[in-house]
């Protein structure tokens, strides 16, 4: 089977089974995201081996999905509200993540894991999946826009915090200790990148997209916007 045929077959499996599972779970008055998780279990290597989707296809689609999800969240954020609630959200997120890392670490030791594995267990459970939160909020319409935005900001900051923790903990896997210089450089890089992203995203991008929307068809605007999205993902 050639590569294109295999990719198309993977897409058929993914979309039809994911769609079918989401319909079933929606009929059961459960979030559609639950159906997607069930589809992942069905298509995984432990159940239907004969229709298992290639790992490379899953990897590609999952990364594209994350990039587009972050792009969507960024478009929905209100920077004025973020300036007001940001410090409180950051403080709450920091306290929550520290507590969860400690709980995860102690739980890991209690079940017999070594120190390194316990640290990673704490890092893994310290955050909340932004993708799941966004999907549930959109599907169930449980929260008003202001509260939903606050929750999304919280989970995005958790994602950033998890990247920071896992980056610090990664050297422990090979028996090293995190170097102070590389840690400081990473923190500075994250701060600079986000600072420049906010400046460019709030000052330059809206003007450029507005100019394009006035002079060109809507599909050109969509293409340019998605191109900017992938460019920022590449830079990060």
User: What DSSP element (H or E) covers 41?
Assistant: helix 32-43
pLDDT at 97 over 80: yes
In the chain, where the domains are located = 1-53, 69-176, 179-236
Query: What was the pLDDT predicted at 58?
Result: 79
User: What are 118's two structure tokens?
Assistant: 């316990």
Which carries the bigger pLDDT value, residue 141 or residue 164? 164
Distance between CA atoms of residues 29 and 32, nearest Å:
9
Q: What is the mean pLDDT of residues 225-230?
A: 86
Convert the pLDDT of each residue in 19-57 to its tens digit.
898 899 888 888 777 888 888 888 776 666 555 667 777
The model carries a pTM of 0.65
Q: Which structure tokens are listed for 231?
A: 């460019």
Give the pLDDT confidence of 9-22 residue by residue, as tens digits: 888 888 888 889 88
Predicted pLDDT of residue 158: 81
Structure tokens at 36: 């997607």
What per-residue confidence (pLDDT) applies to 164? 76
At 1 the pLDDT is 65
Give the pLDDT score at 46.
62
Confidence band of 177 (pLDDT split at 50, 70, 90)? low
Say which residues have a Cβ less than 8 Å from residue 35's Cβ, sequence separation at least 6: 18, 20, 21, 22, 23, 24, 25, 26
Q: pLDDT-based confidence at 141, cuts 50/70/90?
A: low
């Amino acid at each position: 089977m050639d590569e294109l045929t295999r990719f198309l077959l993977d897409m058929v499996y993914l979309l039809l089974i994911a769609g079918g599972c989401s319909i079933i779970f929606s009929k059961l008055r459960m979030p559609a995201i639950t159906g997607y998780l069930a589809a992942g279990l069905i298509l995984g290597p432990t159940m239907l081996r004969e229709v298992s989707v290639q790992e490379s296809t899953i990897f590609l689609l999952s990364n594209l999905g994350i990039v587009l999800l972050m792009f969507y969240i960024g478009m929905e954020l209100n920077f004025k509200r973020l300036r007001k609630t940001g410090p409180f959200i950051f403080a709450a997120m920091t306290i929550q993540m520290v507590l969860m890392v400690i709980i995860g670490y102690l739980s890991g030791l209690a079940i017999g894991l070594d120190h390194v594995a316990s640290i990673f267990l704490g890092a893994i459970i310290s955050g909340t999946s932004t993708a799941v939160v966004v999907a549930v909020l959109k599907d169930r319409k449980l929260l008003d826009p202001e509260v939903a935005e606050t929750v999304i900001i919280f989970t995005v900051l958790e994602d950033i915090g998890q990247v920071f923790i896992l980056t610090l903990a990664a050297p422990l896997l090979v028996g090293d200790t995190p170097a102070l210089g590389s840690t400081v450089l990473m923190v500075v890089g994250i701060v600079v990148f986000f600072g420049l992203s906010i400046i460019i995203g709030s000052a330059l991008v809206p003007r450029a997209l507005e100019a394009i929307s006035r002079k060109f068809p809507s599909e050109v605007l969509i293409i340019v916007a998605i191109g900017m999205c992938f460019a920022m993902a590449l830079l990060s």
